[in-house]
Each structure stands twice: as C-alpha cells, then as structure tokens.
Amino acid sequence: MITAEHITKVFHDIKAVDDISFEVKEGETMVLLGTSGCGKTTTLKMLNRLIDASSGYISIHGKNIFEQQPEILRRTIGYVSQSNGLFPHYSVEENVSVVPKLLKWDQAKSRKRAQELLDQLKLPLEEYGHKYPDELSGGQQQRVAIARALISNPPVLLMDEPFGALDPITRAGVRKEFLELPELKQKTIVLVTHDVQEAFELGDHICLMDKGKIVQTGTAKELILKPANAFVSTFFDHQRLFLELSALTFQDIWNLANDTGMNVQENADRTFSDHMDAKTSLWAGMEMLSKSGNAQLNVRNNADGTSKTFTTATIQEAYKNLKQRI
C-alpha cells in the first residue's frame, strides 16, 4: 500500500530525515515513534507532500506520489494533526463536509455521511452539527477532526500526534473510541507519536527513529524484548515492566502452563462466555484481576480450544520464566 525507499529531507544542509525506507501493508497501522526532532513528523508530511522529499521514492497503491498534483493526492488521504485544524468560523457539520464539497458531493450524500461518522464518534449531528469549535471540548474537537479526515472514505489515514494536546483522561477515552471505530478496520494508517504506550496500543508495527534515521522496525514485542542496540533498549527503560507486560499476551506464556502449575482444561466443546481471550495482554489480565477482586482469571485460547486458570502469581511466574528463555 505505502512504500518509501531511501527518502531524505534536507533543510539548510541539515538532514532532518536521512535515507530511510519502510513499507506499510494494506490495513496495517504503522507508528513512527521517537523523541522531538527525530524526523517522524517530517517523514509523515512527505507522504502527502505537505513537505516534498529531497530524494527518494514514495508510492501509495502502486502510484508514484511525485507524479500526482499535491492537492489531488491529499483528497485521497485523510489527515489529522495535533492542533485539529478546524476552521473556527465553520460549524461542526461544515468542518466535516469540507472535502465532500471539494469532491462536489450533493448535500444529501454529504449530510448522511457526516451523520454516520459523528454518530460513531458520539457527537450526534442533530445535537452538535450546528455548534462551532470554540463551543466544544478538546476531545470533541479532535473527534470532529477525525470525522473530517474519514468522511470521503480515504484508504490511507495520516495522523500527527492526534491525541497529544489532550489531557491524560480525555486522551485515553478518545484513543479507546478511535480503536473501536468500525471505519478503521480497513484503513492503512501511519501515526506519529512520542508516547510509547500509545505506540504499543495502536501500532501493528513501529519504526523507532533517532536523528533522522530508523533505528529499529518491528512489533512492540520485538522492540521491547529484542532491542537492536543500546539506544532502543534504554529508550524503553523508564516504563519497561509495564511495556513488557503490555506487549506480551497469554498466548506467549500458554506453553509454560505445566512449568507454573496452572490448571488446564482441555475441552473445545464447552461454552466459555466468561473467559478472557488469550490474545489479551498480561497487563490487561492483571488489571482485570485487581479490579474484579477475583483470585483467578479464566483465559480461553481459541486456537486450540483449551482454557486455563491464571492467578496473579502464575502470571508473574510464567513471565519470569519467559524472560529467562529470551
């Protein structure tokens, strides 16, 4: 879907992005992660030609983006920025309908699509459509920006620190709603963040950048457990325990059951309505045990039809055993 080969961006003899390559497959979410000034936002903006690369090749859906008019290219790519970019003199409905106007949609089609998206984002058109940005909270403004980016159903969505300006509680809520949006299931997404937890939650794979270069590419699990060098390792040190438990799932420790004394029930025909999926992270499982006050957590592995009963102690023991084997 998106291919970048040896792209470089030079500003006044300084390489903001230095000969990087990556590929984002259709339906994937790739996260560009790193500290401020590492080149991640510049990389993102080169994908829709808000910034033109100094050298290299970029294609989207097999088409060379440098052979397309920038304004035409951008109509096929959703874009959400940290500042939300809403027009203050436009109502919510008018802001969401900017791209449909450019595409010459009729008003009925535009309104129907706006209503569909705003309902999904918990901003009913009848209640919020007439409001202006300064009448909305920060979280509501960002939801409107997401709706505007999605309204023309673009196959690609670019997001530059989309939740960065929100307070932690609002940020967590909007991020959860974002993950649950049906619209995103078939989108190819490139997201920029400096928030490691956000990268781990949202990314299918992550490009960790430093000084304009990609230092390591991989899944959250690969980056946290198999760092390519000292920079990658130390980058995650301040949240290491949380990140490791968030990256690892019950499937990762499934075969360690006998070593840790977990109760295994081999019965594929039984109904497991109260079981947690084995694809759930260890951190989420431990949170569930803590919040529920239960001593045990039933986990179901749909791959082989087995279930296992975990306690906090068995999760911790299996985690330690797994760490020793890596």
CATH number at residue 172: 3.40.50.300
Residues 231 and 255 in one domain: no
What total of structural domains would you count in the chain? Answer: 2
- Final residue belonging to a domain, choices 171, 205, 238: 238
- Identify residue 32 by its one-letter amino acid code: L
Residues 274 and 190 in one domain: no
Pick the closest to residue 206 from 152, 247, 146, 164 (CA basis).
247
Asked if the structure places residue 243 within a domain, the reply is no
Of the candidate ranges 55-64, 67-76, 214-223, 269-278, the one whose mean pLDDT is the lowest: 269-278
Element (H, E) at 292: helix 282-292
Strand, coil or helix: 249: strand
Asked if the structure places residue 38 within a domain, the reply is yes
Strand, coil or helix: 207: strand
Residues 10 and 65 in one domain: yes
Residues 83 and 125 in one domain: yes
pLDDT grade, residue 44 (50/70/90)?
Answer: very high
**Distance separating alpha carbons of residues 221 and 239, to the nearest angstrom:** 14
CATH of the domain at 259: 3.90.1280
Residues 303 and 196 in one domain: no
Residues 103 and 144 in one domain: yes
Asked if the structure places residue 53 within a domain, the reply is yes
pTM: predicted TM-score of the whole model, two decimal places? 0.86
- Final residue belonging to a domain, choices 238, 266, 296: 238
Residues 233 and 252 in one domain: no
List Cα–Cα distances, 26 to 49, 185, 203, 220, 262, in angstroms: 20, 10, 14, 19, 39
Asked if the structure places residue 104 within a domain, the reply is yes
- pLDDT tens per residue across span 250-275: 999 988 765 545 544 454 444 445 68
Residues 54 and 107 in one domain: yes
Residues 163, 197 contacting (CB under 8 angstroms)? no
The residue count for the chain: 326
For residues 55-61, give the mean pLDDT.
95
**Distance separating alpha carbons of residues 85 and 72, to the nearest angstrom:** 19
Residues 50 and 157 in one domain: yes
Residues 171 and 313 in one domain: no
Which residues form the domain of 172? Answer: 2-238
- pLDDT tens per residue across span 69-99: 998 899 889 999 888 889 999 999 999 999 8
- Final residue belonging to a domain, choices 238, 267, 298: 238
- Tell me, what's the pLDDT at 51? 95
Element (H, E) at 111: helix 107-120
- Give backbone dihedrals phi and psi of 144, rounded to 5 degrees, phi first: -65, -40
Q: Residue 49: left if φ>0, alpha if ψ -120 to 50, beta else—which one?
A: left
Residues 269 and 216 in one domain: no
Per-residue exposure over 154-181, b if at least 16 CB sit within 10 Å of its own CB, e if not: bbbbbbbbbbbbbeeebbeebbebbeee
Asked if the structure places residue 199 within a domain, the reply is yes
